A and B are shown apart, each in its own frame.
Chain A
Amino acid sequence: MPQSLMEFFETHPEVNVVIYAGKGGLGKTTFSAATAHWMASKGKKVLCFSTDPQASLSDIFEKDLFGKGEQELANNLHVIEIDADKKISAYQEEIKQKILDMYKLDELPTEIDEYIKSAAAEPAMHESATFDAMADLVASENYDFYIFDMPPFGHGVRMISMAQILDAWIEKIEETRKKAMEYDAVAATLRGTAAAESQDAMINEITEIGKKLDLFTKFLSDPKKTAFLMVLIPERMAILDTKRALEMFGKLNLKLSGIIVNQVYPVELLQREELSDFLRNRITGQQNYLKDIWSEFKDHIRAICPMFDREPKGLEMIAKIAERVFEKPWMEGGTLKEVTSGE
Chain B
Amino acid sequence: MKEEKEEPKKKGIKSALKEFVYGMATHDMVRYMLKTRMYLEHLFMLITLGDMLGIPILPPYYSLKILPYAVPNIATWKKRIFRERDFTDQLF
Contact = CB atoms under 8 A, between A and B. Distances in A.
A111 B74 contact: yes
Contact-residue bracket for chain B: 20 to 34
Contact of B64 (A116, A190, A191): A116
A116 B18 CA distance: 46
A308 interface: no
Contacts of A198: 69
A112 B65 CA distance: 13
A128 B33 contact: no
Interface in B48-75: 48-49, 51-52, 58-69, 71-72, 74
Given A112-B74, A119-B60, A187-B34, A206 B66 contact: yes
A122 B58 CA distance: 11
A170 B61 CA distance: 12
Interface stretch (A176-184, A232-240, A249-257, A284-292): A176-184
Given A122-B60, A124-B59, A205-B66, A183 B33 contact: yes
Contacts of A143: none
Contact of A187 (B30, B49, B65): B30
Contacts of B36: 183
A91 B64 contact: yes
A116 B69 contact: no
Q: Is the interface of A mostly helix, strand, loop or mixed?
A: helix
Interface stretch (A62-70, A95-103, A146-154, A310-318): A95-103
A129 interface: yes
A205 B65 CA distance: 8
Interface in A136-193: 162, 165-166, 169-170, 172-173, 176-177, 179-180, 183-184, 186-187, 190-192
A73 interface: no
B67 A173 contact: no
A125 B69 contact: no
Contacts of A127: 59
Interface residues of A, number: 46
B22 interface: yes
Contacts of B18: 192
Contacts of B29: 190
Nearest to B60: A119
Q: Which of A124, A169, A180 has the most CB of B within 10 A?
A: A180
A115 interface: yes
Q: Which of A102, A172, A202 has the most CB of B within 10 A?
A: A202
A170 to B, nearest CB: 7
Given A102-B71, A169-B58, A190-B26, A180 B65 contact: no
Task: Give the top 8 A-B pairs by smallest Cβ distance, nearest first.
Answer: A128-B61, A124-B59, A119-B60, A202-B69, A183-B37, A180-B40, A128-B59, A187-B33
30 contacts: A95-B64, A95-B67, A99-B67, A99-B68, A111-B74, A112-B74, A115-B49, A115-B52, A119-B51, A119-B60, A124-B59, A125-B59, A125-B61, A127-B59, A162-B59, A169-B58, A176-B47, A179-B40, A183-B33, A183-B34, A183-B36, A183-B37, A187-B33, A190-B22, A191-B22, A192-B22, A198-B69, A199-B69, A202-B69, A205-B66
